[in-house]
Amino acid sequence: MKIRTDEFRKIAAEEMVNPHARKFLDTYSYKSSTRRKTMMDIFPDGGQAKEYGREMRRETVARLPELLEQFETNAVANGAKVLWARDAGEANSIVLKIAREKEVKYVTKGKSMVTEELNLNEHLISNGLEAFESDLGELITQLLERPPFHIVGPALNVPVKEVGEIFLEKGVIDTPSTDPKELGRAARLYLREKFQHLEMGITGVNMAIAETGTILNIENEGNIRFNKSAPKTQVSIMSLEKVVPTMDDAFFMLRVLCRSCSGQKMGSYATFDSGPRRSDEIDGPEELTIVIVDNGRSQHYGDPMLRQAFQCIRCGACQGACPVYGKIGGYPYGWAYCGPVGQMLTPLLLGLDRTQDLYWACTGCRSCSDVCPAGIEHSSIFQYYKEKEAEGDADLKAPSKSFLESRFFDLWTMALTHHKLWGFGLKILRPLLKRALRSNGVSRKSLHLVGQWMIDRELPEIPNQSFREQWKDLEGEQE
Amino acid sequence: MKSAKAEIMGRLRKAVVDAPGARSGSSAIPQLPSDPEELTARFMRELASVDVTAFRADDSREAVSKIAGICESEKIKKLLLTADDTVGETGIKLWAEKNDIDTFCTDQFDDNTEYKSVAFDEVQAGITGVEFGVAESGTLVLAHGKSQARLVSLAPEIHIALLPMVRLVPNYENAMNKLYADKSRLPSQVTFVTGASLTSDIGGIPIRGMHGPCALFVILIG
């Protein structure tokens, strides 16, 4: 997937007038929040349940090293192999090496955001393998070569006609169709043949349960089940923060995840894998390899503000609540993660210099935090990124400031901290501003130096004297 | 040179992190009725809410008549069976022989390729037992192993699940505490099945039957 975070504004402007995006987004927020509230109400105490989930995620992230060790020990005891990868390059090399050892010609992959982050498909394809997305939404975006529009439904904005056209072009169907059922059926048959002869399936991991060394995946379609159970080799890829302490914790998060994600009590299929198949079983993988990926997370683990980002369970509730996402959809975020999740994770992993527009695109309304079952304060993280940008933080790859901007704020700081200098500056500026001011507003041309800042602002009529000067005169009159 | 794990864990451990406090909220497991009939009624309602067709059968023999009805309505001529006791007790093979329906059982295959060919291409339905039914969401819990092969409930277009009523429990925890009691003998895979396969990925329109079975029938026995 090409990273297009630097095109945020351009793509956002396009999507705001895109009729297909509008059709979905203009009703999305209302529907998702209504559905979610109804489903959370089934808990005896919905507010308490939310608070418990938040505390659990905070605790999990605080105990991350210990839980990862425990998970690995138990997973290996179950017969799984566990490998660690510092970055995308290492993770992709591990997967390719396994594919070569097993002499596979193609793989199928379940929906997995971390594998999008790694650009795994492109790596496998450039090394001579075929890689098929098996989730219907991911298949559509793969064929269209687009990023995900939505964390749960990556192709929800694509009109049925366009799905039919790309399916026809790529050979998924032989005759044109705009019937969603027919298209779904065609995708089923297209991938079914691949599942039947599959030698290596790749999945992500929703949760890695430390207590038992079990990986858990939740889905509706059944493709992840096929990726796990049809081939002899299963590779499941997780980022560090997917670990949960106990099976009971996993059930709690599963209830919250399904309700937050899609308004369901439970997805159609949840699969819990504790190692590969046993020797007397007729199906299931003979080998299960779990790849634990860092890719820039551990270097920020020590920062308590950024550590919040690891509490995310990828439910997408924040997207449904975000007024910005509700206007622009997923494409402008330009990478594997969109909405407030993308605004939080993408700057962390790619650097602030490539992602400024993402964390600046926040109204500060905190709707995301209100609905987040994992207790993340998204807007405080975005504010933190802005502070780090101003400080020129090297760890977060803050962009360098322009010479003019830096000198302006040097002068500004000096003026604000020296009142006589401030007063002198105002004496010079006031007549200039008054000359520029017209009855219908400020002349933007005169103030072009401050540029965008004046687009939505108008100055009031500027008096001849400042308040201090008027006060001094009044005092003089009274004497 | 340090291994990837040592480097990553080194960075994680170097961080100064405040020890987490005790959790003050409640885990809030949904409360369900304890009366067996009310629990069953709740389970049936949850099954209906995820488009599952459910039947009650007093015993294994009556279960066969329900299976017969499904085979007729769905025009099923070939069945794939798991090798578990619940399926065996129905005597389904004998009934099938008398009614011109072919049956395959997972324990008859030596070869995984032949088994997969049958599961994907030959049969119209797979019949499995169920380890637990969970009333809170109408979920079937399948603990895979030699007698509960995975693809039987996944590859065929129709999945027929036989659930003895004594195995109905309120919540997921009730089922998994039993299945995971012996940490040295965990099932290789446990699957929660809640309705048939589903997608809404084309225009947000819900469609049953994406990659997994298109229809799920549950027969509650006892």
Q: pLDDT digit string (tens) for A171-194?
A: 999 999 999 889 999 999 999 999
Q: Which residue has the tokens 């079952």?
A: A373
Q: What is the 3-state secondary structure (H, E, C) of A9-59?
A: HHHHHHHHCCHHHHHHHHHHHHHHHHHHHHHHCCCCCHHHHHHHHHHHHHH
- What span, in angstroms and rounded, lies between the C-alpha atoms of A205 and A335? 19
ipTM over 0.95: yes
Out of A80-89, A440-449, B18-27, B142-151, least confident range: A440-449
* Alpha carbon of B37: minimum distance to chain A alpha carbons (Å): 21
Which of A78, A220, A259 to probe by mutation at the B interface, max B CB count within 10 Å?
A220
Query: Cα–Cα–Cα angle for A160, A165, A169, nearest 5°?
Result: 150
Tell me if B25 and A52 make a contact (CB, 8 A cut-off): yes
Q: What mean pLDDT is predicted for residues A418-438?
A: 79
Tell me if A298 and B106 make a contact (CB, 8 A cut-off): no
* Alpha carbon of A375: minimum distance to chain B alpha carbons (Å): 13
How many CB atoms neighbour CB A263 within 10 A?
17
pLDDT of A439 > 50? The answer is: no
| Confidence tier at A32 by pLDDT (50, 70, 90) | low
Query: Phi first, then psi: what are they for A217, rounded to 5°?
Result: -125, 140
Which residues, including other chains, have CB under 8 Å from residue A73's CB and lie 6 or more apart?
A: A213
Residue in chain B closest to A163 (alpha carbons) equals B202
- What span, in angstroms and rounded, lies between the C-alpha atoms of B144 and B80? 16
pLDDT of A236 > 70? The answer is: yes
- What span, in angstroms and rounded, lies between the C-alpha atoms of A203 and A225? 9
B185's tokens: 């003998």
What does DSSP say about strands A130-133 and A287-293: parallel, antiparallel, or unpaired? unpaired
pLDDT of A440 > 70? The answer is: no
Which of A30, A223, A269, A395 to probe by mutation at the B interface, max B CB count within 10 Å?
A269
Tell me if A45 and B17 make a contact (CB, 8 A cut-off): no
pLDDT of A443 > 80? The answer is: no
Q: Indicate the Cα dihedral angle A132, A4, A262, A122, nearest 10°.
A: 10
Which of B183, B211, B216 to probe by mutation at the A interface, max A CB count within 10 Å?
B211
DSSP 8-class letter at A286? S
User: A–B: how many Cβ contacts below 8 A?
Assistant: 253
- What span, in angstroms and rounded, lies between the C-alpha atoms of B137 and B46? 5
Question: Which residues in chain A have their CB less than 8 angstroms from residue B176's CB?
Answer: 247, 251
**pLDDT tens for residues A297-339?**
999 999 999 999 999 999 888 998 899 999 999 999 999 999 9
pLDDT of B54 > 70? The answer is: yes
pLDDT of A39 > 70? The answer is: no
Q: Please name the member of B14, B46, B192 whose beta carbon is closest to the beta carbon of A270.
A: B192
Enumerate the H helices of B75-221 as residue ranges. Answer: 85-89, 92-98, 112-117, 172-179
Q: Please name the member of A159, A266, A282 whose beta carbon is closest to the beta carbon of B192.
A: A266
Tell me if B144 and A284 make a contact (CB, 8 A cut-off): yes
pLDDT of B211 > 90? The answer is: yes
Q: What pLDDT shows up at residue B206?
A: 84
Helices and strands (H and E) in chain A: how many: 22, 12
Q: Judged by CB atoms within 8 Å, which residues 49-88 of B form the interface with A?
A: 50
Q: What pLDDT shows up at residue A30?
A: 59
**pLDDT tens for residues A118-143?**
999 999 999 999 999 999 998 998 89
Query: Phi first, then psi: what are they for A365, rounded to 5°?
Result: -75, -20
Closest CA to A32 of A402, A339, A460: A339
C-beta of residue A55 within 8 angstroms of C-beta of residue A61: no
DSSP run (H or E) holding A110: none
